[in-house]
Chains A and B, each alone.
Chain A
Amino acid sequence: MLLVIYGNSDKKLVGKLESVKAALLIQSWYRCYKARLELRRRQALSIFESIEYADEQDQLQLAKFFTFMLENYTQKKEENSVYQSIASIENQRLDTKTVLRMVEVPDSYEGPRLMFPLTYSDVLLLIKAFKENQILHARYVLEVLVEAKKVLKQLPNITHIMSIETKELTICGDIHGKLDDLFLIFYKNGLPSGNNRYVFNGDFVDRGKNSMEVLMVLFALFLVFPNDVYLNRGNHEDFLMNLRYGFTKEITSKYKKHSAKILHYLEEVYTWLPIGTLIDKKVLVVHGGIADDTDLEILNKLKRNKMRSVLMPPSTPSEIELRNIQFPYNFQTSSMSLDQMPKDDWDQIINILWSDPRKKKGCSPNTTRGGGCYFGPDITNHILNKFALKMIIRSHECKPEGFEICHDGKVITLFSASNYYEEGSNRGAYLKLKKDLIPRFFQYQCSQMVKSKTLHESVNIVESTAFRILGEKLIARNSELMQVFKMYDVNKTGKITFYEWGKAVGQVLEMDLPWLSLCPRLAQRTEDGYVYYKMGFKKLTAINAPKQVKSGMFQTLVRYRRDLKIIFNVIDKDKSGLISLEEFRDIWKLFCSHYGIKIDEAHVDQLANAMDLNHDGSIDFNEFLTAFDVVHRLGGEPKP
């Protein structure tokens, strides 16, 4: 055996080393180094996941707020415009011809020009143009959406595919606006065609910067090969999710004055996307998963287009009754309930779009996401048996290798957006099915960087992004954190241990992360291993918020800025980006009351005036709230 050369106090090697021992030393050291990097990388990923799910959980509160708003918002004007924008879409529809006539393509437009009905060469034209970073004109975007809706409307809720020997079938998971990944898949696997069928399992948009281009390519392919391209709705094919996760912002920045019309149509097209695909009556492909009461018969029959957004659940009959008792003003129950989808149907769809598989048996509410369920292997078995299915293929969760198999091979997670959280965070994958229905997986990872990164560099990148967004959370909860820190600091020394810091932060943020390990990297520490908690957090961030905002309001605005953007956008019926001072005041008060935030009447006015940037009595909320986005200290654009 080799000499053991490690020792407590040895500073020199014992005896003369042979090259074998030297090699061993270097190898052991390197493996140790690598392991530490691997731990950091995985911890960074768990930060991303935690934050993503915490964000989704916030949505539950937002959904409740919309209901609350509907109940309590009274406007002095005759028509209740907020109610209208939330409850009904019918009023706003202009006929297609009028809309298209309103959007003309100027001669100076150099982008791709499409001819309807679309053909394969239009698709190739589109792909070529997008590779050259061109933007498709709003007119064509609208036409594509209009045509897509016409075809989608004809489809059943769950589309059926019978596999054919001569035709390949490929299934892709979340793409999230990553056009490069989509092109990579097409490069490796060929474009969709009569012989090359594809199922895209939802979440085409949000987060990535080319959501519109992804959507256009997919819809164009769908229009050209309607029998060979299958599009399932994901939880991000939801206009309110888009407000939060970046697609709406992409549209408004790319399409400016035409964005309102596009957003309007998009809202509706989403609702017509099928919610699942059944292959050979044996393999169910849905975006999220299932629940214990998932019923394919109900799913087949329900009116899927009435599911507008996860944030707008239908009120149950009892709630409506309650409202009538408490608020005897003219509540239009009849139109509300006619327009709505029955709660049971709605739950069925939400479960399909939002659920996640877990090892634990049983079915429980998916509290991390705020929607859908956690379903165990027993639930999978039950549903597969009930409907004579062999397997469920779903997406919805980012996996380091792009796919994951669980529940004894019966549930497959497929995720096609590589580098989802950050460059280097994960691979993407797609799978192919033949008649034997045995999946074959293909992985890839897109790389934008010309020079390939060393292990250390790529871990650094993932980690620093994770810390930046974690830093946002810390800033937003700063005063609560300070309170808890002080509790631990009994002797008022200004210092607490790493362990106490970890406990405090975990408590306040309600995020289960390795806080002890993260502490040295996030907090200011002393020589002897304590944390100077009053000194704030390390290498974090700055916010260039308007000075008029009082400190109490500041944290609320940082923390809730995304929710507020959504709320104001919903009120902004004509999508002008502006709401009236009056509307703002009413909503802000409602918001604070519902979220349990104490406000001073005087501060509301101050805030309103601070937001009225042009002093013209209207509030440009997007611009105002964007100021609260956290900017990395070294400069650069805040990421959505």
Chain B
Amino acid sequence: MAEEKDNGDEEMETNRVKGFAQGHTASKVSETRLELDAGLLELQKKIKEAFEVFDHESNDTVDVREIGTIIRSLGCCPSEGELHDLIAEVEEEEPTGYIRLETFLPMMVKVLKERRYRPVPEDVLLQAFEVLDTAKGGFLTKEDLVRYMTEEGEPFTQEEMEEMLSAALDPDTNTIQYRDYLAMMVIDEN
């Protein structure tokens, strides 16, 4: 870099380098330093707000069993295994059963900035259902879905299974019309 560039440009350059290193997409490169700061502030606030919802004693700690919900509610989609790893990163040396905001916040900022554990797009989800639909009929039987969800991957609890079925199951045919189900879920979310 040429020496005649002033500090501001140099900072921008540094940020751009950092940006690439963190896997930012091209559009972010044009952000000014001010906007980056504001963006960080907003990110931190968003994480804090999600954290506070579960901070029952208002002392900047949450029960470790709720961390998964917090991380997921912020738009991340880790598997249980990946969650486990994340928790290990923020847990105390001597696990107390609580996670502190001061350890959680930087970790979560990083996760969000690096766009880790992004939820998969709808069409990928559809493909997943199609893989399970061995008969290629466009639907899953209740028994099949229950079997897959409660026996494969990271099995559902009974409560989770019942909840999914309450919205996904078509009571007339006792099947899961997964295309329709997904379409509905997408609308729900928005």
Contacts and interface: CB of A to CB of B under 8 A. Distances in A.
A and B physically associate: yes
Interface of A: 1-2, 5-6, 8, 11-13, 17-36, 38-39, 42-43, 46, 359, 452, 454-456, 497-499, 502, 514-517
A396 to B, nearest CB: 17
B160 A516 contact: no
B72 A35 contact: yes
Interface stretch (B7-15, B51-59, B105-113): B51-59
26 contacts: A8-B115, A11-B123, A17-B128, A19-B148, A22-B127, A23-B152, A23-B153, A24-B152, A24-B154, A25-B124, A25-B153, A26-B129, A26-B132, A26-B153, A31-B68, A32-B72, A34-B160, A35-B69, A35-B73, A39-B53, A39-B70, A42-B53, A359-B59, A455-B167, A514-B53, A516-B49
Contacts of A17: 127-128, 131
B22 to A, nearest CB: 11
A33 B149 contact: no
B20 to A, nearest CB: 12
Contacts of B156: 27, 30
B54 A42 contact: yes
Contacts of A28: 77-80, 154
Contact of A454 (B38, B131, B167): B167
B125 interface: yes
- Which range holds the interface residue count of chain B? 35 or more
Nearest to A500: B38
Given A23-B152, A27-B154, A33 B120 contact: no
B73 A6 contact: no
Contacts of A23: 128, 132, 148-149, 152-153
Contacts, number: 146
Contact of B42 (A25, A29, A35, A498): A498
Contact of A13 (B77, B127, B160, B164): B127
Contacts of A31: 68, 72, 77, 80, 160
Given A24-B153, A27-B149, A33 B189 contact: yes
Interface in B44-74: 45-46, 49-50, 52-54, 57-59, 68-73
Nearest to B147: A23
Given A8-B23, A499-B45, A25 B59 contact: no
Contacts of B152: 19-20, 23-24
Contact of A32 (B59, B76, B121): B76
Nearest to B71: A35
Contacts of A497: 38, 42
Contacts of B72: 31-32, 34-36
B68 to A, nearest CB: 7
Contacts of B79: 2, 24, 27-28
Contacts of B81: 1-2
Contacts of B69: 35, 38-39
Contact of B160 (A20, A30, A42, A454): A30
A456 B166 CA distance: 10
Interface in B27-54: 38, 41-42, 45-46, 49-50, 52-54
